[in-house]
Chain A
Amino acid sequence: MYAQLVDTGGKSVKRLDEMGAEERAFQERVDAGVKIEAKDWMPDNYRKTLIRQISQHAHSEIVGQLPEGNWVTRAPTLKRKSILLAKIQDEAGHGLYLYSAAETLGISRDEMLAALHSGKAKYSSIFNYPTLTWADIGAIGWLVDGSAIINQIPLCRCSYGPYARAMVRVCKEESFHARQGYDIMMAMCNGTPEQKAMAQDALNRWWWPALMMFGPSDAESVNSVQSAAWRIKLFSNDELRQRMVDQSVPQAEFLGLTVPDPDLRWNEETQKYDFGAIDWEEFTNVVRGNGPCNKERLRTRVKAYDDGAWFRDALVAHADKKNAATQLVA
């Protein structure tokens, strides 16, 4: 998802009777649905895993601004431009809530940014695809933010208090994103044949990467079992992906668009859609840094940070000067 392939640092999940007193008390609190707060005792790997997961989530929000930023100056109307700007501003806000949540676990903002900028930290694979036409902005809101919502709603109930609270804020704002995207898609699909073709093209290109956002099947993964035991992952990747397919297919039908999957069909028995195989090689490639835009995204992000250094420094200098002046008066 926004955090993909998060390592939990263990080879197997401990049973209660294998744990020390502190860890057992911790696990029992988690099992009872009690939130863990920043200053509570927690296993080292829980802390590390959450730092990885939350910082990756934060990085995704920040880098996720870039594909959409590509269309701010070329939005078709002032209204669409204002809406897009508001959405991108929300993404920055989401990144900030999440960085703050991660910081409560004892990592600094600067450490996280350094890890992103050096390429050491990951962000979601989805943001390494290009936004070629205006319809892509519609498809992103509809499918990418749609997938994000499916992933984030359960996280509002996760065991770590600061993360859960950040997710509540994010989810409240996220449905605006999905709706503005679908609204763009509706406008395109009710427009000229060329506009509708553009919408279809966007769906063709974003469908599979959106399904890949949930990550490969983790039914067999130790990381996933551990994260589930810690209640920082509440559903498997496959369950969430199935939910996405089931909700999106009727939405595509309403638009009069075709989902680019010849194997897609309704299964009467399961009351769910069966869908075709995902190209995990493509996913692995993008995660490893070889997607269409990985290098450009990181370069743009680092440049924005470096170009803003003088301004951040000036704010600090101003604050220091004011501080010194107040101390003189005192």
Chain B
Amino acid sequence: MNNEWPLWEVFIRSQHGLAHKHVGSLHAPDAEMAVNNARDVYTRRNEGVSIWVVRASDIVASSPSDKGALFEPSNSKVYRHPTFFPMPEEVKNL
């Protein structure tokens, strides 16, 4: 047998209340082993309280070359940021 194990992306929740964050990837034959391996590879020093593993092939990513078209529309909308509106200093709580 010589089929390479699929690649899994690993996400760890570092403490309660924070979102899972991508930490890296690993190979494993199935989801259960992926979680086991992720425990050994990415949480040897209390880095997490929860692990997600996702098959890398199941992730849909935007393409770097689409960056302009994807993100430009929000770049031009600076009024979405509160700092766009200068407030008089004597006005409080805004």
B1: which A residues are within 8 A, CB to CB?
313, 316-317
Q: Are A108 and B40 in contact (CB under 8 A)?
A: no
Total interface residues on A, CB under 8 Å, equals 28
Instruction: Assess the A103–B7 pair: CB atoms within 8 A.
Output: yes
Query: Which residue from B2, B26, B61 sits with its C-beta under 8 Å from A100?
Result: B26
Binds A, one of B27-35, B71-79, B81-89: B27-35
**Contact (Cβ within 8 A) B41 A93:** yes
Cα-based distance from A317 to B5 in the complex (angstroms): 11
**Among A93, A165, A315, contact of B40 (Cβ-Cβ < 8 Å):** A93
Cα A318 to Cα B4 in complex, Å, equals 15
Interface residues of A in 278-330 (CB under 8 A from B): 312-313, 315-319, 322-323
The number of residues on chain B lying at the interface, defined by a beta carbon within 8 Å of a beta carbon of chain A, is 21
- Binary CB contact string for chain A from 60 to 96 against chain B (1 if under 8 A, 0 otherwise): 0000000000000000000000000010011001001
Question: Which chain A residues numbered 142 to 169 have a C-beta less than 8 Å away from chain B?
Answer: 165-166, 169
In terms of DSSP, what is the predominant structure of the interface of chain A? helix
Instruction: Judge whether B80 is part of the interface by a CB distance below 8 angstroms.
Output: no
Determine whether the beta carbon of A109 is less than 8 Å from that of B27: yes
- The answer to whether B24 and A100 touch across the interface, beta carbons within 8 angstroms, is yes
- Inter-chain contact count A-B, CB under 8 Å? 53
B44 within 8 A of A: yes
Would you list which residues of chain A between 14 and 52 have a CB under 8 Å from chain B? 37, 39-41
A103 vs B25: C-alpha distance in the bound complex, in angstroms? Answer: 10
Do A39 and B61 touch across chains, with their CB atoms under 8 A apart?
yes
Q: How far is the CA of A110 from the CA of B41 in the complex (A)?
A: 19
B26 & A96 in contact (Cβ 8 Å cutoff): yes
Is B64's CB within 8 Å of the partner chain A?
A: yes
Interface residues of A in 85-137 (CB under 8 A from B): 86, 89-90, 93, 96-97, 100, 103, 108-110
Candidate in A40, A89, A100, A165 with the most chain B CB atoms within 10 angstroms: A100
Smallest Cβ-Cβ distance to B3: which chain A residue: A316
Residues in A with CB closer than 8 Å to B40 are: 89, 93
Jot down 6 A-B pairs with beta carbons below 8 A, ordered by A: A37-B64, A39-B61, A93-B40, A96-B26, A96-B41, A315-B5
Which residues of B approach A to under 8 Å, CB–CB?
1-5, 7, 23-27, 29-30, 33, 40-41, 44-45, 61, 63-64
What 10 pairs between A and B have smallest CB-CB spacing? A319-B30, A319-B29, A315-B29, A313-B1, A100-B25, A316-B29, A110-B4, A39-B64, A40-B64, A93-B41
